[in-house]
Amino acid sequence: CVSMLQLPLVVTAQVDVVLLLVSFLSLWTRLTQLGYPNAVVFDEVYYGQFVSLYMKRVFFIDDSGPPLGHMILALGAYLGGFDGNFVWNRIGAEYPSSVSVVGLRLLPAVCGSLCVPLVYLLTLELRFSHLAALGAAVLPIPISFFLTTSDDPSGLLPENSLIVQSRFMLLESVLIFFLLLAAFSYLRFHNAAPHSVFRFGWLLLSGASCAAAVGVKYMGVFSYLLLLGVASLHTWNLIGDRTVSHLSVCVQCVCRAVCLLVVPLLLYVFWFYVHLTLLHRSGPHDQLMSSAFQASLEGGLSRITQGQPLEVAYGSQVTLRSSASQPIPCWLHSHKVNYPIRYENGRGSSHQQQVTCYPFKDVNNWWIIKDPDRQDLVVSSPPRPVRHGDVIQLLHGMTSRFLNSHDVAAPMSPHSQEVSGYIDFNVSMPAQNLWRVDVLNREAESESWKTILSDVRLVHVNTSAVLKLSGVSLPDWGFRQLEVVAEKHFKSQSVGWTVEEHRYGTSQEQKEREAELHSPTHIDVDRKISFWAKFLELQWKMLTVKLEDSEHKYSSSPLEWVTMETNIAYWLHSSTNAQIHLIGNPVSWGVANLSLLAYQLLAAIYLLRRRRGFKDLPDGAWCQFVCLGCVCVGGWLVNFVPFLLMEKTLFLYHYLPALCYLHLLTPALLEHTHTHLLSRATHRRALCVCVTAVLVSVFLSYRTFCPLTYGSPELSANQLQGLKWRDSWDILYRRR
Amino acid sequence: MDEECITQWNKTGDTSTLRNRKIFPTSEKTLQTPSTLLSKDKNKKFSKDPPTRVLLMLVVGLSFSTRLYKITEPPHVCWDETHFGKMGSYYINRTFFFDVHPPLGKMLIGLAGYMTGYDGTFPFIKPGDKYKHHNYWGMRGFCAALGSCLPIFAYLIVLELSQSHSAALITAILLIFDTGFITISQYILLDPILMFFIMAAVLSMVKFNQQRCSPFAASWWLWLVLTGANLAGALGVKFVGLFVILLVGLNTVWDLWRLLGDLSLSLVEIAKHFLARVVGLILLPLFLYVTIFAIHFVVLNKSGPGDGFFSSAFQSRLIGNNLHNASMPEYLAYGSTITVKNLRIAGGYLHSHWHLYPEGVGARQQQVTAYLHKDYNNLWLVHRQDANESQSGTPDLVRHGDIIRLEHKETTRNLHGHLHEAPLTKKHFQVTGYGINGTGDTNDLWQVEVCGGQNGDLVKVLRSKVRFLHRATGCVLYSSGKTLPKWGWEQVEVTCSPYLKETPSSQWNIEDHINPKLPNISLSVLKPHFLEILLESHIVMIRGNSGLKPKDNEMNSKPWHWPINYQGLRFSGVNDTEYRVYLLGNPVVWWMNLASLGLYPIMVAVVSIAIQRGFSLKHSHVLMREGGLLLFGWLLHYAPFYTMGRVLYYHHYFPAMLFSSMLTGITFDILLKSTDLILRPPYSDRLQTLGQMVLLFSVLYSFYLFHPLSYGMTGPLAHEPGSTMAGLKWMDSWEF
């Protein structure tokens, strides 16, 4: 603030020095002692298992986000020489010496460190237009530099929560990095000279970072939409510029659309392409996917299904898998036990043989497809394929009962019909065992029923009810297997069945057939599904698979984040009081909230006064002020408000991206105050003093919470108690 | 301002100028228009005003006759009549009840019934009950009369907005001949009443907007006050009325913003405008809304089914409630039988029952919950910690700081807490019922604390706020307000919270107090203030609303189903022998609306890009401004449903549908009028007339086809031959 009169040349040199200094400090705070603690910290236990699966090339599905973030973590692990042999089972478990802890944590930490210089550059970019508009004004430059140098890092650099989040194998820092990069490069594009060609390079970078941000976490979508909004506003102004020819406008619009819409979309798909290419072995989550998908993975189902006959024919022996993966994937099943005559609640049943859905491979999962008009149970030669619309009977292989349904209420879902293996008790309850085959994903009306590929609906001919998995477990008499019913008013999706294991039956006699059913299947044909089909299925599953959501000990509600009512204990030393917490720097947190309020207040006053014809700000400064609001307040809003509507379990770290935008706002607002609101030199000096005081207190509180950020040095119980600034914080002490 | 008013005047005075397009060639690239010369003689032909009065009478006549036709059919309770008819009866009988909606709609139903000679004796037990001699036609007729106003209001609104008779007529025809609107208007439901107020509010708002040239004139005030009154009405029927309040509010903000920018107005005048709106649109509706509740509480003064939802103080108002002029021992004593009520509004009674917590949820001990209804299982016995009460003489009184044991009367288990996670709120500890016949362990001990009291203070029944501190862990008995899953019978979770802040959730009061050894004293319970009752009933309603979760076998309707008319609602009758009424929109009308929702953004995009590039188009003002208002209204009444967690039904879409139909009127009208962009005048006019005729006849013919949906059908279902609806089941999901 004092050295105001300096040559522009010197000033330019200062920029780099400042940037370097900021980067250095940032790297230093984020990277020192990265290997400590040498133990699994908080969500590392969650992401770590996926990293291991990448190392082993085993397929998995994670509903928390698209695969890019996991892949970046895995890349770090790969470079660090991690082989995937570590059991991620609890927080606090020690890493063995064979695991390079620094390698696991390096990439997120570097991303987190780069956020700080990026914020610095972004701030410059936000006011760059303003500086340019003022021409060769020397005066504001040192001031702005004073403020940027001192304040920017004041936001991010000593923000304990961001440091904690960056130092471990977690995704938030990566997400924030890409978000900031996208905003920065877009503003670079916008501020660049209109005829330069390179500026579209920046736009492309912006689009790519958006795709990366969305690829790390779905949350990135909100920032992407904000960026699209700002970009379309700028494009709208371009369209309104009548000095530009129609052709030029068209070309520019197309270019922007390609860079910001097409490229991100393609890149997003590309992440999945890499993901699916890397993971080609079957694994623990296979069961969630369709049979066709599973068959494309090495090992697992493909080992069984390789070489099965493709077309289901009369006489085929098949297992039928429900295509609904809720609650768990299972196969149509029956066994030699009947429904109880009366259920617990007194309702009656048909007392015929139980038909259920069973989530394990079993010989009782085999069914034989029979032509109602013929008696034979073997496949004729040539085989007669079953086609869409054909009526069949399904014979249970081991018990020779026909799949049957009738107007009797199902055991657990009384609004649906019971499905049973038919036994004739001579009680004027005739067999109703005809089923019509509806191939749901057919391309032609005459399409045949194909193994694995066809999704088939079985419609009961007498009642036109549909065979479906109700999703309810039967009580003990049904061995806790899943209930299968026939429902007339079907609306849900869980009505499809897929033939998974399949072979042509060759034995007419029951005994031979049983032996045949016990023998494993095998023949050889190669079957593949396209990348697009796999991509769409995986994406759909990731969006729809919902794991049981329950409250976590450290989960919190969004409104608690603003005032930092909560914290998260990340790690506690196994024997001492050393611990790591996700706690923000309370002072900078408060300053950020204050600046948010101040901006809104200022904006309201300016708007009202402008409406009445008082222009407090020159047009350039006003534009800059609005732009600041769009990026910072808008960024905060889009990253915060959606959480208010979400019903999933939320944590404090979900707030960090929004917080970054707020920290971005603070220095810019101070500079605005300095240049536009305060006219007297004494006032300005007073502001400088205030800012310095705030900076010192930010730094002091950063130092105070350092032990909880880095996990060392260990504090005594009393000291820990002293750090409990709020009652609602959970800080752990050991009882001695 | 003046200029705007003049153009406004022209617009209303001379509709013919709107008829033909004029192009103002601002850019040289604009095409020359061929039609400007020919427009003169065309003007003559259409310069006569269409006979407004005749058209309006036609709309009124058609609207009333379609809605009142067969109003008494079927003569039994249909669908939700079972609720709203019953609640109407409650008003006639003055019995207190609880409903999730505000009272105005049901009060009006009750009033209508009372005026037409219904005596409130019909029980409305379930749909399908025959009315027999009871006078139900009055209530139905009242709803139908309000429902008949909807097309009329829509006609007037569109006429006011677009100044085009054809647009208004299209809207009116769409609404008059929509089977859905006819059906929903014909029964004792809240929806016609709600929609009546919504449309009346919008109409008054539009009329008020038209009065902007003569502010503070009598008509200006009239429309302002009417807007306010109708807003109160809409909100008084259902909380959905909030959306129209939002619409009017934003419109008002926009209007004030316009006035603020009008530099010819002084700030004083603007303040007058502002205050007038505050009075007319905030204070007046608020007053009316509160008045509705005041009437509600005055009328319903007898105890009824809704008592348990409310606090003890509230219940003491109701004649017949056990707290009305209650008398019981004044101070809590050992050996008494008590009920304990949580002080959080609608907090429920401390409750326990024989069922255990399921496996995996803390310890497998008996559940302790909070239950909203009065129940035998809410009774608890107060014991000393050492369990030996003095059997004779007057029992000792419980004092602040005493350590007690609460024994559940029915199951003889003690209220017990321990260091297990609570089922839902994982930060808290689990509370269970433990021990048998009063013998348990040290975890059954609770310290009584009177809020604001000192050691030795007595515990006043009903009036003291009491907290129960768990001796062993130091936590406090807490009701989290979260609903337990099915295993907990959807009662409210009770936990032990380690956070000791005094909140109503952790405070309880003693409601019933039975001890034969103590003298009963008549308690003049603090009568609650009216505002307290108001607040309490709102919180109870809101909680009740969000607690409406879909039942197991009930098909949950999704918001995306609605605009495509995917599935209706059965009002009456299921199988082919019954008299069936099915709430389903006229598919032609609904799909037209769907098309216009797609068409409108395209038209706006084309027009606004053209304007931005310097072309000028006629109708663009009506299309963008007035159409925008309607689209916004549609969005406000539709989009929020996507975020709602409660159970949704098809009929929730009808308010949005009103806006959609009005938008369709404007969109199709402008589309047809834009024929002169592609054809020369004589042909373009013919094309336009042809388009209007096709529209009219398709709506009329489809109404002829589908009218049995509203007016009732008997005989076989649609998928069987010989049905009146044969061949009309265009979608599989329609159930008629």
Instruction: Return the axis-axis angle of helices A220-240 and A634-645, rounded to nearest 10°.
Output: 130
Measured on CA atoms in the order A311, A316, A318, A323, is the torsion positive or negative?
positive
- Mean model confidence pLDDT for chain B: 83
State in Å, rounded, how far the first CA of chain B is from the last one.
Answer: 56
Angstrom distance (rounded) from CA A371 to CA A390: 9
Query: pLDDT at residue A526 above 60?
Result: no
Place of tokens 């009491």: B466
Which of helix, strand or coil describes residue B15?
helix
- Give the model confidence (pLDDT) of B280-322 as tens digits: 999 999 999 999 999 998 888 888 777 777 777 777 778 877 7
Residues of A with CB below 8 A from B29's CB? Answer: 246
Measured in angstroms, the CA of A538 and the nearest CA of chain B are apart by 23
Residue A470 distance to chain B (closest CA, Å): 10
Q: Count Cα atoms within 13 angstroms, Cβ side, for A242.
A: 11
The DSSP call for residue A417 is: E
The per-residue pLDDT for B274 is 93
Residues of B in contact with A613 (CB under 8 A): 263
* Residue A14 to chain B, least CA–CA distance (Å): 44
**Which residues in B lie closer than 8 A to residue A645 (C-beta atoms)?**
643
Confidence band for B104, pLDDT divided at 50, 70 and 90: very high
pLDDT tops 60 at residue A3? no
Which residues in chain B have Cβ-Cβ distances shorter than 8 Å to A608?
A: 260
Nearest neighbour of A728 by CB, restricted to B260, B499, B612: B499
Q: What is the pLDDT of residue B81?
A: 87
| Model pTM score | 0.75
- Nearest C-alpha of chain B: how many angstroms from A239? 6
Alpha helices in A241-329, H assignment, sequence order:
246-257, 263-278, 291-295, 301-305
Q: Which residues contact A273 (CB under 8 A, 6 or more apart)?
A: A531, A535
The one-letter amino acid at A146? F
Q: Give the per-residue pLDDT at B2.
A: 42
Task: Determine the pLDDT at residue B419.
Answer: 85
With an 8 Å Cβ cutoff, are B733 and A611 in contact? no
Task: For residues A8-34, give the mean pLDDT.
Answer: 70
DSSP A475-492: -GGGTT-EEEEEESS--S
Chain A: residue nearest B498 by CA?
A728
- Split at pLDDT 50, 70, 90, the class of A546 is low
- What's the average model confidence in pLDDT over A616-623? 85
Give pLDDT tens digits for A312-357: 888 888 888 887 766 777 888 998 888 888 887 778 888 889 999 8
User: Are the C-beta atoms of residues B476 and B469 closer than 8 Å to each other?
Assistant: yes
R_g over Cα of chain B: 32
How many Å lie between the alpha carbon of A446 and the closest alpha carbon of chain B?
A: 22
Confidence check: pLDDT of B72 > 60: yes
Which of B22-36, B165-179, B183-197, B327-341 is the least confident region?
A: B22-36
> Considering only CB atoms, which chain A residues are within 8 Å of B733?
491
Instruction: Judge whether residue B12 has pLDDT over 50.
Output: no
> Are A186 and A155 within 8 A, CB to CB?
no
Helices (H), A557-677: 558-562, 586-611, 619-628, 634-645, 656-672
Interface of B to A at Cβ within 8 Å reads: 27, 29, 257, 260-261, 263, 267, 421, 424-427, 499, 501, 552-553, 555, 567, 609, 612-614, 643, 645, 733, 735
Report the residue from A414, A551, A611 with minimal CB separation from B426. A551
Cβ neighbours of A246 in B, within 8 Å: 29, 613
How far, in Å, CA of B520 to CA of B328, rounded? 4
Of the two residues A305 and A650, the one the predictor is more confident about is A650
What's the whole-number mean pLDDT along residues A18-43? 83
Could B609 and A239 be called an inter-chain contact, meaning their C-beta atoms sit closer than 8 Å? yes
Residues 6+ apart with CB under 8 A from B61: none
Minimal Cα–Cα distance from B225 to chain A, Å?
A: 27
Phi-psi region of A84 (alpha: psi -120 to 50; beta: other; left: phi over 0): left
Cα separation, B14 vs B518, in Å, equals 86
- Contact at CB, A489 and B555, closer than 8 angstroms: yes
pLDDT at B590: 93
When pLDDT is averaged across residues A578-602 and rounded to a whole number, the result is 89
Q: Which of B553, B734, B735 to mutate to test the interface with A (most CBs of A within 10 A)?
A: B553
> What stretches of B484-609 adopt beta strand conformation (E)?
492-497, 508-514, 521-522, 569-572, 581-583
Question: pLDDT digit string (tens) for B418-430?
Answer: 888 888 887 788 9
Over residues A370-388, the pLDDT tens digits come to: 888 888 888 887 888 888 8
| Alpha carbons within 13 A on the beta-carbon side of A365 | 21
Residue B673, both tokens: 């009028």
pLDDT of residue A7: 42
Q: Can you give the pLDDT at residue A300? A: 66
What does DSSP assign to residue A699? H
Mean pLDDT value across residues A36-56: 87
Whole-number Cα distances in Å, B644 to A80, A650, B565:
47, 19, 20
Could you say which of B260, B555, B735 has the minimum Cβ distance to residue A611? B260
Longest dimension (CA), chain B: 111
Cβ <8 Å between A552 and B643: no
Residues 6+ apart with CB under 8 A from A458: A394, A435, A436, A437, A438, A466, A467, A497
pLDDT bucket at B39, cuts 50 / 70 / 90: very low
How wide is the angle at C-alpha A303 spanned by C-alphas A297 and A306, nearest 5°?
95
- Is residue A468 within a helix (H) or strand (E), and if so which, with residue range? strand A466-473
Task: Please report which helix (H) or strand (E) contains residue A179, including its range.
Answer: helix A172-191
A242 vs B27: CB contact, 8 Å cut-off? yes
Alpha-carbon distance of A286 to A297, in angstroms, equals 9
Closest-CA residue in chain B for A644?
B643
Take residue A466 and report the two structure tokens written for it: 């549909």
Which chain B residues touch A550 with a CB distance below 8 Å?
424, 426
Give the residue from A147, A74, A116, A502 showing the smallest Cα distance to A318. A502
pLDDT band at B388 (very low <50, low <70, confident <90, very high): low
Distance CA A312, CA A394 (A): 13
Percent of chain A with pLDDT over 90: 14
Among candidates A236, A249, A415 on the partner chain, residue whose Cβ is nearest the Cβ of B553: A415
Amino acid letter, A350? S
Identify the three-state secondary structure at position A438.
strand
- Chain B nearest CA to A157, separation (Å): 32
Contact A169, A44 (CB under 8 A): yes
Q: What is the largest CA-CA distance in chain A?
A: 108
What local confidence, expressed as pLDDT, does residue A433 receive? 87
Which helix (H) or strand (E) covers residue B371, if one does?
strand B366-371
- In this prediction, residues A66-78 reach a mean pLDDT of 91
The sign of the CA dihedral B213, B217, B219, B222 is positive
Task: Give the pLDDT band of residue A132 (cuts 50, 70, 90).
Answer: very low
pLDDT at A548: 57
> What is the tens place of the pLDDT at every residue in B599-638?
999 999 988 988 888 887 777 888 888 899 999 999 999 9
Angstrom CA distances, A598 to A591, B144, B386, stand at 10, 53, 60
- Mean pLDDT for B446-458 is 85
Across the interface, whether the CB atoms of A491 and B613 are under 8 A apart is answered: no
- How far is the C-alpha of A30 from the C-alpha of B314, rounded, in Å? 59
Q: What is the pLDDT of residue B31?
A: 39
Q: Which of A143-157, B339-353, B699-713 has the lowest mean pLDDT?
A: A143-157
The two three-digit tokens of residue B224, written as one number? 């302002």
User: What residues contact B478, with CB distance under 8 A and at least 6 apart?
Assistant: B428, B494, B495, B496, B497, B505, B506
Residues of A with CB under 8 A from a CB of B: 236, 239-240, 242, 246, 249, 413-415, 489, 491, 550-553, 555, 608, 611-613, 645, 647, 727-728
Which of helix, strand or coil describes residue A26?
helix
For position A735, what pLDDT does the model report?
59
pLDDT for B48-65, tens place per residue? 455 778 889 999 999 999
Structure confidence at residue A142 (pLDDT): 36
Query: Strand locations in B439-559, DSSP E?
Result: 446-450, 466-470, 476-483, 492-497, 508-514, 521-522
Q: Which of B426, B430, B480, B569 to mutate to test the interface with A (most CBs of A within 10 A)?
A: B426
Q: From the CA of A338, how many Å to the nearest CA of chain B?
A: 25
Instruction: With CB atoms and an 8 Å threshold, state whether B29 touches A246.
Output: yes
φ and ψ of B493, to 5 deg: -70, 140
Q: Is B637 within 8 Å of B630 (Cβ atoms)?
A: no
Neighbouring residues of A680: CB distance < 8 A, sequence distance ≥ 6: none
CB B604 within 8 A of CB B139: no
Q: Across the interface, do A236 and B612 touch by the CB < 8 Å criterion?
A: yes
Across chain A, mean pLDDT equals: 81
Residue B288 and residue B277 in contact, taking contact as beta carbons nearer than 8 Å: no
**With 50 as the cut, is the pLDDT of residue B521 above it?**
yes
> What are the CA-CA distances from residue B494 to residues A225, A305, A563, B374 (Å)?
42, 52, 27, 17
Whether A144 shows a pLDDT value over 70: the answer reads: no
- The per-residue pLDDT for A133 is 31
pLDDT (tens digit per residue) in A691-708: 778 888 888 888 888 888
Contact call for A246 and B613, based on CB within 8 A: yes
Smallest Cα distance from B268 to chain A, Å: 13
Amino acid in the structure at residue B714:
T
Chain segment A638-651, per-residue pLDDT in tens: 999 999 888 778 88
Q: Are B523 and B326 in contact (CB under 8 A)?
A: yes
Contact B260 A612 (CB under 8 A): yes
User: Would the CB atoms of B555 and A612 count as touching at under 8 Å?
Assistant: no
Nearest residue of chain B to residue A246 (CA atoms) = B613
Read off the tokens for A440.
């749901």
User: Which chain A residues are closer than 8 Å to B421 by Cβ?
Assistant: 553
Q: How far apart are CA B633 and CA B716, in angstroms?
A: 40
What is the distance in angstroms between the Cα of A89 and the nearest Cα belonging to chain B?
Answer: 19
Q: Which of A242, A552, A728 sits opposite B426 (nearest CB)?
A: A552
